[in-house]
Amino acid sequence: MEVRELTIDQVRSLLERGEVSAVEICQAHLESIDQRNSEIKAFIHSDASRALEQAARIDQTKRQGEPLPVLAGVPLAIKDNISIEGQRCTCGSKILENYTAMYDATAISKLRAAGAVFVGKANMDEFAMGSSTENSAFFQTRNPHATGYVPGGSSGGSAAAVAGQMAVAALGSDTGGSIRQPASFCGVVGLKPTYGRVSRYGLVAFGSSLDQIGPLTRTVKDAARVLGVIAGSDMHDATSVAAAVPDYVAGINASVKGIRIGLPKQYFKAGIATEVNQKVQAGLKLLERLGCELVEVELPHTEYAIACYYVVAMAEASSNLARFDGVRYGLRVHGEGTLTGMYRETRDAGFGNEVKRRIILGTFVLSSGYYDAYYLKAQKVRTLIKQDFEKALAKVDVIASPTSPTPPFRLGEKSSDPLAMYLSDIFTITANLAGIPGISVPCGKTAEGLPVGLQLLGKHFDEATLLRVGHAFETEGGFTL
């Protein structure tokens, strides 16, 4: 098998048998980056020397007869809003173009200890604000399956790196679907863990009550491997939860017979592209053949989800991005020589249009006289949406839907219509509002060869069931329907 097509387990198996070295695996992926990144533009920057040093340490461990860690020699792409000590962390923004991270994110520390090799920082929508990776301050990322189309966003670079065989796996962040939607568009697996399952320490904040770090991989089992490494409580993140982390791989092959899968009637209405609906329906029939029971459920407050999400997310973005003011780090524009002028000129030069739009709207909904009318009301609706999921998941084990209502769209198709762009996340944002886990798995392709994704949502801290159902779906050919 071609080295660049390997799964995590295959990498480990080859290393243990001595059939290939970690350095050779790393070099193959660095060569792929050299060959493909000029077209796909998945990476903002790649540090070959650091990656090769990490790989060489794995080979040294093998030569010394020591046991290999679980992700030994696995080349990973890291979304460029996750801190790696000594490397740039731009968040896809001019305001942080020359910022170098001073420490490792907790997820990075855990991956480093597990033997992973970081081949580069992946492109993203600026500060994770977007659904197409067209909002990066540096360049647009293209879909490896069809370069005239978007890879999704905001973790589009991470998804494209895996789909384009430039990394075995990747880390992304998911605030409203930013792992799952690009996974769907690029034909890979994308997992958003339960809020609190993975530490956010070292993740540059967009929406602090919504953000989660998670993996993008080629297989469901690979996603289980990575999640098992990065999950767990962290003293540096007060929102991380001290819940036991199961062995996600151990139970992944268990039967799915008897699993009850909820189908929200609010998600299967007009607006889903015909080919997406056909593929998802075929996927649901496959799960039914495997012994799953399909049950209609109600999520009655779904119609308010987009409005609720964008009030909450923009308010939190306005608060979180106030720290980028030219005083402590990042871009500084002195402007007219006054403090107010420096703030204004720095933020005007450093932030792109979408980020400015969200800061302005977020500041508005938090302002005196409008807080109760918008932000407080959105938080109340968020509680109703969370309660909808609790009631539905009391009746079923998993909820299924399309990941996105459409296949990947063309570059530039929705750039001038923010609302149309926001609606591409209609099926993913609710999981972030409710804090529940979700996974997108490939579910075939359209006639044009564009990937379609099936989304599975689960109970709080029950990623294991999502992984078991997703793995059964993959094993029975669901990825290629």
> Would you please indicate which residues are annotated as catalytic (active-site) residues?
79, 154, 178
- Alpha-helix residue ranges (DSSP H) falling in 88-208: 106-113, 156-163, 180-186
E strand map for 49-96: 75-79
Amino acid occupying residue 200: R
* Structure tokens belonging to residue 353: 């249009």
Number of H helices, E strands in the chain: 15, 11
Cα 184 from Cα 152, distance rounded (Å) = 8
Query: 8's torsion region: left (phi>0), alpha (psi -120 to 50) or beta?
Result: alpha
* Structure tokens belonging to residue 227: 């999640």
* Structure tokens belonging to residue 237: 């993140």
Cα 173 from Cα 216, distance rounded (Å) = 10
Half-sphere exposure of 380 (CA within 13 A, CB side): 7
- For residue 322, the 8-state DSSP code is G
Cα 268 from Cα 262, distance rounded (Å) = 12
- For residue 304, the 8-state DSSP code is G
Half-sphere exposure of 387 (CA within 13 A, CB side): 8
Cα 252 from Cα 408, distance rounded (Å) = 30
Cα 193 from Cα 466, distance rounded (Å) = 10
* Structure tokens belonging to residue 112: 């480093």
> Torsion over CA of 402, 403, 406 and 409, rounded to 10 degrees?
-160
